Chain A
Amino acid sequence: MQDFLSSLVMVAFHGLAYGMILYLISVGLSVTMGLMGFVNLAHGVFAMAGGYMMLSAMSRLDVPFPLAIVIAFCAVALASMVLERFLYSRLYSAGELEQVLFTIGLIFMSVAVARLVYGPLPQPVHIPGYLKGQLHFLGRDFPTYRVFLIVFSVSLVALLWFGVERTRWGAMVRATVDYRAMAQSVGINTSRLFTLTFALGSGLAALGGALGAEIIAVEPTYPFEHLVFFLIVVAVGGLGSLRGPFVAALLIGVADTACKYWIPEFGAFFIYIATIAVLLLRPEGLFGKAT
């Protein structure tokens, strides 16, 4: 019993860390798809770019870890703004098919560029000394870095939710998600709102990619390999909501870890079966608006 309880604690802990990374990366995708109705399969590119930014800032320019994270966030957010203005915005009115094709094209190109610049091997991750090792409490060892990961992400999520629920910008975003034409007609500059929101979402993905580089290795095929998981988080959680993907990401993180721990032979099945079950019962996702 004691053993079972302690493995339960460990599964919950590691699942939480994995789930938080999934959430940071996917929340931007949920907002992009909910707000702009844009099927952005290339969202993982921003996460990968964030990972590369942070790692190369640290290894090539000797930037300290906290600053490297800030750099990753800002650089990717800025770059995504440019992309949104010049490429994405032209396709808002296009069909889903064109959007799918276009973003798959972007993935292909980014995979080749990443390979050219960084080579095919995954990037080595050097976390700073003060985040290495284990923390000891409740009679168990917890890897320090993952504790930091959870604490940092939770604060970030709290900040994000506060921003959306309590600020003027948040109110405008919510209004636009609800009824875009109406929002426009009361004078909200939706196109600028799109750009800013897109940049924020990409920046968060970059943070997720950078912080999660320990868990999800940063390498050229990143945007392809993990796309299914990002999409599952968004679809199961529900479009355009913040809470939905959060719950979905945690569920997936914990359940995936639990399956790998207790039934490693069938670990991979669970996520897909759960996804099918949820979407059949609630096609709009757990927290999505019924249409």
Chain B
Amino acid sequence: MTHAGGYIADARIRAAEWLPWVFAALCYFAAPSYLTLGSYILTMIIFALSLDLILGYGGIITLGHSAYFGTGAYVAGILALRLTGEPLLGLLAGTLGAGLLGLFTGLVILRTRGLALLMLTLAITSLCYEVANRATRLTGGADGLGGFSIRPILGLFSFDMFGKTAYLYCLVILFASWWLVRRLVYSPFGASLTGVRENNVRMHAIGAPVYQRRVVAYTISAALAGLAGALLTQTTQFVGLNVLGFELSGELIVMLVLGGVGRIYGAFVGPLVYLVAQDYLAKRFPEYWYFGIGAMLVLVVMFARGGILGIIDAGIARLRRGS
């Protein structure tokens, strides 16, 4: 696996890094009827970014990241139903709630590695799922949590049927998340995290606080996942149990690896391609779209390690050599 970026690399924003934002803005005007799908994609990009931080940079493989996404979603939903529909407050609460859960679970499970860690994350998300399923008074159980409304953002922009506000809202939050993750990755903290991924023993040997670094990264990542969850709650104004399902975690890994791990923009490309393909296939072949997605994954692994961005890298390298 090749990983672009890092502490040593030039941290200034390159011109190409503005491309996604231009593209997202263009989509707003060019595809007004696709904004609902667009908001969902933007939300999943934030979620994928949060995973990239621990998986791509920290080397932690998890099948349970939906635990934090779901926590954020439920905290935001319950807050809106019980106390206030103020959106920014909801985002804050969702982020904090998921961050706290991330801190506590991280402290416990990050002493393990490999399969044990994978299974622990899986068990934690399954447990959260069961808790949400049982606590019907609070969460609505299998029927889902609805019937709340979200107030206009800053008292100015109310959520509309066509998803215009939701799209721009998601875009702004994604921009902030991207900025934060980018800062983190290019900081000394990001460098030591990458060090842990590359050679854990050596990092121990030079006296780096490995466990502590992993817990901090895990907590930040969980908080970011919670932010994405809260965002989903506010834009769809409904929370279903599936936000805590391990299927969502699996789908998330698939999206990230499809885009490319450990390079920030993989988290942009992966969800975009995966969700657009799913949308297209599910409409054309509602019964058999799974096959297309599956085949895409197998082909990527067989012929395009490093995901879609990996292919593009290879293509650019070949062009340079050719010229």
Contacts and interface: CB of A to CB of B under 8 A. Distances in A.
Interface of A: 33, 39, 87, 90-91, 94-98, 100-102, 104-113, 115-116, 224, 228, 231-232, 234-236, 239, 265-266, 268-269, 272-273, 275-276, 279-280, 283-285
Contact of B254 (A104, A111, A236): A104
Contacts of B127: 269, 272-273, 276
B288 interface: yes
B297 to A, nearest CB: 3
Contact of A113 (B109, B253, B258, B291): B291
Report whether over half of chain A's contact residues are helix, strand or loop; otherwise say mixed.
Answer: helix
A284 B300 CA distance: 31
A101 B255 CA distance: 9
The interface size bin for chain B is 35 or more
A106 B55 CA distance: 22
Interface of B: 1, 55, 61, 108-109, 111-113, 115-120, 122-124, 126-127, 130, 133-134, 246-247, 250, 253-254, 257-258, 261, 287-291, 293-298, 300-302, 305
B119 A90 contact: no
Contacts of B300: 101, 105
A279 B305 CA distance: 31
A268 to B, nearest CB: 5
A115 B122 contact: no
Contact of B124 (A95, A115, A236, A276): A276
Contacts of A283: 111-113, 116-117
B257 A97 contact: yes
Contacts of B250: 104
Contact of B294 (A96, A106, A239): A106
A265 B134 contact: yes
A96 B124 CA distance: 21
Contacts of B126: 228, 272
Contact of A235 (B119, B253, B261): B119
A231 B305 CA distance: 25
Contacts of A33: 115
Contacts of A106: 294, 298
A98 B293 CA distance: 15
A108 B293 contact: yes
A109 B108 contact: no
